Amino acid sequence: MNPIYSRQPSGGIGYSFENFLAHFFEICYEHLRNGRAKSFAFILFDFEHGDVFLTLKNEKVFTKLDRLSGKELTIFYLNSEQRDLVDQFNNIFVNALSVNDSIPLPSIVFFKVVGNDAENIEFHRISNDKLFAFQEINDYIQSYITNMDQPQKKGTAFLNAVFKKLTEAGFDYITQKFFEKLSNGQ
């Protein structure tokens, strides 16, 4: 489990939103090279479905999912209560998958990085009920890990689309923060 925060976390695991956008590919390839993951996943939600976010913030849930994913799967999710960041995160990755309206929120999206493309792309809707969200996420992760080495349909230019979206969004976000600091006299 790799949370993405609105700001750089002090110690521990995770990335700042800005750092994640700027280094997404490097992070994925580093995890592959170092044997930390064979596949990746995003947990996407919005504040209409806040119970999924609250479920992920639970320390016991985080630990259980982290142990379950092990060295097979790196799971990214945005750990932020800022609506604009959550919307931007979802927009980048849903659009990059070229299935804009097909991924209902909340969802978990799995994929393997292979060269400049993705394979085994699959997504599953997650219940917005605290009682069921954890169990569904847990079951989807177990199922994906069990079946991840089976051949699946290949994506088309997935990483190129992600890179384009990350570049645009990252540049926009960094520029916005720069001008905010300037206007505040920092």
How many domains is the chain partitioned into structurally? 1
| H/E stretch holding 44 | strand 39-44
Instruction: Give me the torsion for CA of 112, 117, 121, 126, rounded to 10°.
Output: 80
pTM for the model: 0.78
Q: Kindly give, in sequence order, each residue whose CB lies less than 8 Å from that of residue 19, ignoring residues fewer than 6 positions away.
A: 8
| pLDDT, one tens digit for every residue, the chain (186 residues) | 888 888 766 666 788 888 888 888 788 889 999 999 999 999 998 888 788 888 888 999 999 999 999 999 999 999 888 888 898 888 887 777 655 556 788 999 998 887 766 677 788 999 988 889 999 999 999 999 998 877 665 554 555 555 555 556 555 665 566 556 566 655
Tell me the C-alpha distance between 147 and 94, whole Å: 23
Which residues lie across from 76 on neighbouring strands?
Answer: 2, 42
User: Of the candidates 61, 82, 79, which has an alpha carbon nearest to the alpha carbon of residue 141?
Assistant: 61
> What distance in Å separates the CA atoms of residue 107 and residue 143, rounded to the nearest whole number?
15
Radius of gyration of the chain (CA): 16
* Cβ contact 151:144 at 8 Å: no
Domain carrying residue 94: 2-183
CATH of the domain at 6: 3.40.30.10
Q: If you ran DSSP here, which 8-state letter would residue 155 be given?
A: P
Task: Classify the phi-psi angles of 84: left when phi > 0, otherwise alpha if psi is within -120 to 50, otherwise beta.
Answer: alpha
- Alpha-carbon distance of 58 to 89, in angstroms, equals 21
Report the side by side order of strands in the sheet with 2-5.
15-16, 2-5, 73-78, 39-44, 107-114, 117-125
